[in-house]
């Protein structure tokens, strides 16, 4: 039987890859008319965890309905993991993606020529790779954008792009602004000062340029797939009806908790009281400089809450690469912090957020603002957790961190 072939182009970061692979697994599992080919980019932020995950999925049996095609390594300067001092990380990643676009085009062409089992019916592209929609346009194949975060983040992105493109608003002016943004689909207004710094970057503004272009390209897609649940974000989904966006489909929750060895972490959590532990995890590319790490550490110590902190080391300065695990946490934490908090806290490296969040000992979750992690938290904890306690605990920890930013560290330590 001829199958309907879909090509998936994920962004090479763990949270992005897992979501889009799980979508493929669900799709071919529910309808055997589909087959999926994932094009895996090689680049400076490809983590070892990604390679291990791909191997584990490839070893599973899907009757050939899912396969991975590894794109060639980029040649020349763009294949290096060095970040030229004249370019921001956003510019560097943009240049990488433009080069990857050529490799994706060649790979899709080969699939169209050699395909004996089906016909290519669509390209599903991670929202971070939206420029690759050009491949679909060139080859006459419809493109769909896959959003790994929430519908709320998508609505906010579209709203800011509308303000910029149609109302002449300069987004960089929102930095440290007291403006309250009324976003379609949001119940409450959004303080402009909490927008991601990358979006309101005054030094060159490349971050805002990149995300604005991402929003424009998403509007041109055949459809948008979001890793969320209609029941969780119905108010936001209902706001996408003004005709300015393509159809938005909810495809979540797309989770996978089977990768990685987490026995030591689980054993530690088993010894903690229910709903007592504050979990801090910022994804596979979440990283902080030493001053930020010390700020968070002081906040945790003063909060006196039991905590589990997934702490990752940033790449060397001037290098565009992924975060990695520390060999010695003492190198970056305040002096004697591990000794002082040994009875209430645990510092770890890479871990599976879903596995940890599903444990009954977790009572709060702190992550970065991109809401896919909170969707994970809701979906795995909803049956057995008090969501009010989760929110209160998280807000209290964030409030402490805010005080740390505006007060001398030594003064806070003595309070």
The pLDDT of residue 315 is above 50: yes
> Please, what sign has the CA dihedral across residues 370, 248, 233, 364?
negative
Per-residue pLDDT at 11 exceeds 70: yes
Residue 408 has pLDDT above 60, yes or no: no
pLDDT digits (tens, 9 = 90+) for 66-85: 888 988 887 655 444 444 44
What average pLDDT does this structure show over 34-40? 90
Q: What is the pLDDT of residue 195?
A: 82
Q: What is the DSSP letter of 65?
A: S
Residues of the chain with pLDDT > 90: what percent?
23
- 200-209, 210-219, 334-343: range with lowest mean pLDDT: 200-209
Looking at every residue in the chain, the average pLDDT score rounds to 77
- Mean pLDDT over 392-413 rounds to 42
Instruction: State the pLDDT at residue 15.
Output: 74
**Stretch among 28-32, 123-127, 406-410 having the lowest mean pLDDT:** 406-410
- Judge whether 199 and 164 are in contact, CB under 8 Å: no
Q: What integer pLDDT is reported at residue 319 of this predicted model?
A: 58
pLDDT for residue 390 is more than 50 = no
Kindly tell me if the per-residue pLDDT of 216 is higher than 90.
Answer: yes
| pTM value surpassing 0.85 | no
pLDDT at 275 over 80: yes
Lowest mean pLDDT: which of 7-16, 155-164, 234-243?
7-16
Of 85-89, 225-229, 369-373, give the lowest mean pLDDT range: 369-373
Does residue 413 have a pLDDT over 50?
Answer: no
Average pLDDT over residues 354-377: 69
Active site residues: 16, 126
Length of the chain: 415
End-to-end CA distance of the chain: 71
Q: How many CA atoms lie within 13 A of 103 on its CB side?
A: 19
Interval 273-283 mean pLDDT: 86
Torsions phi, psi for 305 (to 5 deg): -85, 145
Does 382 score more than 80 pLDDT?
no
Residue 379 confidence (pLDDT) above 50: no
| 120: Cβ contacts below 8 Å, ≥ 6 apart | 5, 6, 7, 108, 111, 112, 141
For the ranges 39-53, 317-331, 336-350, 395-409, the maximum mean pLDDT occurs at 336-350
Residue range 167-194: mean pLDDT, rounded? 87
> Would you say residue 412 has pLDDT above 70?
no
Rounded distance between C-alpha atoms, residue 378 and residue 277, angstroms:
16
pLDDT band at 289 (very low <50, low <70, confident <90, very high): confident
Task: Give the whole-number percent of the chain exceeding pLDDT 70.
Answer: 71
The pLDDT value recorded for residue 209 is 78
DSSP letter string, 176-220: T---EE--TT-SS-EEGGGS-GGGG--SS-HHHHHHHHHHHHHHT
Paired strand residues for 35? 5
pLDDT over 60 (residue 134): yes
How large is the average pLDDT for residues 257-274?
79
Pairwise CA distance, residues 319 & 324, whole Å: 13
């Amino acid at each position: 039987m001829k199958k309907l072939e879909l090509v998936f182009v994920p962004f090479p970061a763990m949270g992005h890859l897992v979501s889009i692979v799980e979508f493929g697994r669900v799709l071919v599992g529910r309808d055997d008319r589909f087959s999926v080919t994932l094009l895996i980019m090689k680049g400076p932020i490809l983590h070892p965890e990604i390679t291990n995950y791909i191997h584990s999925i490839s070893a599973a049996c899907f009757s050939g309905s899912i396969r991975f095609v590894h794109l060639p390594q980029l040649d020349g300067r763009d294949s290096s993991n060095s970040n030229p001092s004249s370019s921001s990380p956003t510019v560097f990643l943009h240049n990488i993606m433009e080069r990857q676009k050529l490799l994706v085009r060649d790979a899709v062409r080969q699939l169209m020529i050699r395909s004996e089992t089906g016909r290519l019916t669509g390209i599903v592209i991670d929202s971070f790779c939206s420029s690759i929609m050009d491949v679909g346009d060139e080859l006459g194949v419809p493109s769909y954008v896959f959003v790994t975060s929430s519908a709320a983040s998508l609505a906010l992105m579209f709203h800011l792009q509308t303000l910029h493109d149609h109302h002449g608003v300069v987004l960089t002016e929102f930095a440290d602004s007291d403006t309250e943004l009324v976003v379609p689909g949001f119940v409450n207004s959004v303080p402009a000062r909490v927008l991601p710094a990358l979006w309101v970057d005054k030094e060159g503004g490349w971050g805002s340029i990149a995300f604005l272009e991402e929003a424009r390209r998403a509007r041109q897609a055949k459809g948008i797939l979001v890793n969320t649940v209609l029941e969780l974000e119905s108010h936001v989904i209902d706001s996408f009806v003004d005709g300015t966006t393509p159809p938005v489909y909810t495809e979540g929750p797309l989770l996978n908790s089977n990768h990685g060895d987490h026995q030591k972490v689980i054993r530690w959590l088993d010894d903690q009281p229910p709903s007592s532990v504050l979990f801090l995890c910022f994804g596979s590319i979440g990283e902080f400089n030493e001053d930020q790490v010390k700020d968070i550490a002081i906040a945790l110590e003063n909060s006196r809450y039991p905590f589990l902190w997934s702490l990752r080391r940033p790449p060397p300065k001037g290098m565009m690469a992924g975060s990695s695990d520390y060999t010695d946490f003492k190198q970056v934490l305040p002096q004697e912090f591990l000794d002082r908090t040994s009875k209430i806290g645990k510092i770890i490296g890479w871990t599976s957020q879903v596995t940890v969040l599903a444990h009954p000992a977790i009572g709060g979750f702190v992550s970065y603002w991109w809401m896919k992690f909170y969707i994970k938290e809701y979906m795995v904890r909803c049956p057995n957790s008090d969501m009010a306690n989760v929110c209160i605990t998280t807000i209290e920890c964030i409030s402490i961190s805010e005080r740390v930013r505006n007060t001398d560290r030594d003064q806070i330590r003595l309070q």
